Structure 1
């Protein structure tokens, strides 16, 4: 009989129930993690009564299959004032289970907003394998007498090791990738932004503001994808330039070993010696450029994460608004939940503003560095090009002719890379992002319309 790992046993034994793609989980807790609000989806799929959930700790739905190290990372993010996104498995009141992509956002009052959705991408399979390894470690050290706090810390360390082995420097880098992908795929599969026909008064304004915010976030995400494409193209052009200049240096070294003497040797090698000298300086600049582009890419990934989180919060707001009557009824819990979402949206827009400012700073530095590389390469590139035109290559020995041909190919490739770098550098600084004032205005409209709705007689 095959021995299953602890997490595998949970997977094999638990009955799972399906979460619909349009079912969003909503809850708000206080600073201690005590549930203060929960939507109908959360109540229904938790298989607990609402009276059991309200005032209960949120870990009432925690499943032991999720490693403690994951929650250790979650709290590290939340205590630093940053939102968290990650895959969780919950255990319902009847011991059945359901998988979620959970997001948790700090609120101004010290509490936390959780909005979760069904996982719909292949990222879950990768993360599940990581969880298996982390959970096995935690079970082993617990069985050896380690206390739960230390086991969670060891689990978090193992989690980071597993992520590093898959190309993620930190857990934050993982969540920057999975959340935008999950939100985009969920939106592709869903029935669209919830709405309500026949809305009037403050409710109509609320729904209109939600639609406008969603559209503005859509434009913002499109702009970020364009920026990501330009950044990736710049990185590839820089790598090609490094390869071509290094190839010319290698060939010049081989030429130096040729059996050629006198003026012919000087004529052949002098331009390449200039190229070699400039290559060292250019190499430093291209290394700096590569580092700047990594920073730019990370900033873009972080921006896309916050846009995706805001889209999820906007969809949750639309879901609440679509369920309201034109005038408040006896149960105003849906409308009363919206202020927590607008608080999270305001924080998200503020973070996007910081990311845009950082993008502008980095893109200016990248553009300046590209201009430096182009300027440094101009003299040796022109010298080599003239040398290739003026030299009587046919008078050289066959092996020298072959090396000159290689230099020619390398210089042509370097020239093409320089032209591409210059073009992309100009595009990067010219790419615009949507005005964040419009996002702020839409969030303010949502807040004002909610207040007006709740204030109706």
Structure 2
């Protein structure tokens, strides 16, 4: 069954007709010059094929879009990364249309982009951010500065980086679109949302853990002060202080290695979840774009090699699915690494009990300084309870992420959109 070529009536002004069930795609060379696309792209943009093919993709750019977004968009693509985001475009007749665009480098060069109509709450938030950025750019903000400001604002809105924003916004747009089209919620997408929610919860606990670790660093200093007051009889307290200082250094090193920094075990886990979530969502929309294109009726003026484009869409969607599956294996591996690290940290924290016991012994031996030493003991009690509780929770969350990743990995075919058959897996 072919998609009808009957064009919907276009209004004199406002928004160009673009339905929630429609997906359009375009393909460009390395410079962003349009090489191909589908009939929906041509119809919504209102540009005839002979003016689309060979034109720079910015021919459809709307002046309401901040330059900073495109700086970020092309920076990622040129670095060989996928990218997605909200874009306002302008049709040839002056009408506008919003899309959620997903773009990727192509094997052998060039780029491919697929777009759907956005409708989630994230879309409303980001469109307001774009308005603010456009005003700042009009006042002299450079595209590079605008891009940095956009990423900074996303962090303020709760996203750790642009990768996590893509993962979240993609998932929400898919869910909103399914609802608009009366589809059952996608099981794979829901599982990914649960995994992402668990990772965000782990981030909250690790941030609190870091704050407690920072507070621990004051304990050896307080012990040294107490030891100096005791003079000759302060030897045991000084020894305890030295021992605690060594433990504090071990804790600090563990935090640096497994929690802080872009190369840490926790960052690897978080990034692997985002990558797999993004690629799985992009695979799904690419597969649906391919299914639509196969039933689409070509216009008489079309200059598109349809067999070639079908092959391209199959290759790209299959590649995304394979990469998403590979990323899931990375999630499993990183969850195991981080889980073991949490276990090691719990054993290290258990060593605080020895220091705490030594402090209690000294408290009994030095009644004249009992109040100061008891304050340190109370501190140690509080720290240990807090650390053990946080580590237990992080361990539970990590186990949940691992279990969910395995479930996703075992149910790989659950991500296909309705009506799309199985696709072969590339090496």
Same fold at TM > 0.5: yes
Separation in 1 of the partners of 2:176 and 2:114?
18
Structure 2 equivalent of residue 22 of structure 1: 20
Aligned residue for 1:166?
153
Give me the whole-angstrom Cα distance separating, in 2, the residues matched to 1:301 and 1:131. Answer: 28
CA RMSD of aligned residues (A): 4.5
* Residue 117 (structure 1) shift: 2.7
Measured in 2, the distance between the counterparts of 1:89 and 1:441 equals 28
SS of the aligned residue for 2:99 comes to strand
User: Do the aligned residues in 1 keep the contact of 2:26 with 2:113 (CA within 8 Å)?
Assistant: yes
For structure 1, the residue ranges without an aligned partner over 5 or more in a row are: 1-13, 139-153, 196-210, 449-457
Contact 1:63 1:90 in 2 (8 A): yes
Structure 2 residue corresponding to 1:274, chosen from 243, 254, 258: 243
Distance change >3 Å, CA 112–CA 446, structure 1 → 2: farther
Aligned residues: 394
- Give the structure 1 partner of residue 7 of structure 2: none
Cα distance between partner residues in 1 of 2:90 and 2:64: 9
Shift of residue 76 of structure 1?
Answer: 3.8
Give yes or no for the alignment of 1:290 onto 2:259.
yes
Deviation at 1:350, TM superposition (A): 2.9
- Equivalence for 2:133: 130
Return the alpha-carbon distance in structure 2 between the equivalents of residues 331 and 91 of structure 1.
22
Quote the Cα distance in structure 2 between the aligned partners of 1:311 and 1:400: 62
SS in 1 for 2:87: strand
Q: Deviations over 1:315-346 (max 9, x none)?
A: 4356557x679xx9x99999966544332222
CA distance in 2: counterparts of 1:89 and 1:245, whole angstroms? 50
User: Is 1:435 paired with 2:409?
Assistant: yes
Q: In the alignment, does 2:317 pair up with 1:345?
A: yes
2:207 is the counterpart of 1:236: yes
Asked if 2 retains the 8 angstrom alpha-carbon contact of 1:237 and 1:421, the reply is: no
**TM-score scaled to structure 1, two decimals?**
0.68
Matched, 1:378 2:346: no
Partner of 2:6: none
> Match of 1:99?
98
Q: Distance in 1 between matches of 2:391 and 2:167?
A: 35
Please state how far the C-alpha of 1:280 moved relative to its aligned partner: 1.5
Alignment of 1:440-455 (within 5 A): 445-446=421-422
**2 CA distance for matches of 1:273 and 1:55?**
71
* 1:412 correspondence with 2:391: no
Q: Which has the larger radius of gyration?
A: 1
Q: In structure 2, the residue corresponding to 1:408 is in which secondary structure?
A: helix
Instruction: Give me the TM-score of the superposition, normalised by structure 2.
Output: 0.72
What is the alpha-carbon distance in structure 2 between the residues aligned to residue 309 and residue 345 of structure 1?
Answer: 8
Q: Distance in 1 between matches of 2:296 and 2:90?
A: 30
Mapped partners of 2:153, 2:340: distance in 1: 33
Displacement of 1:17? 1.3
Residue in 2 that maps onto 1:114:
113
Secondary structure at the aligned position of 2:62 is classed as coil
Does the Cα contact within 8 Å between 1:25 and 1:114 map onto a contact in 2?
no
Q: Comparing 292-301 with 226-235, which one deviates more in the overlay?
A: 226-235
| Distance (whole Å) between structure 1 residues aligned to residue 27 and residue 401 of structure 2 | 42
The CA deviation string for residues 193-248 of structure 1, in whole angstroms up to 9 with x for no partner, is 688xxxxxxxxxxxxxxx9xx95643652463255246425523632541452353
Question: Distance between the aligned counterparts of 1:52 and 1:307, measured in 2?
Answer: 34
Q: Does the aligned pair in 2 maintain the 1:249–1:276 contact within 8 Å?
A: yes
Q: Which moved more, 1:280-289 or 1:387-396?
A: 387-396
1:299 counterpart = 2:302: no
Counterpart of 2:176 (choices 181, 185, 188) is 188
Q: CA deviation at 1:279?
A: 0.9
Local SS of the residue matching 1:392:
helix
How far apart are the structure 2 equivalents of 1:55 and 1:184?
Answer: 34
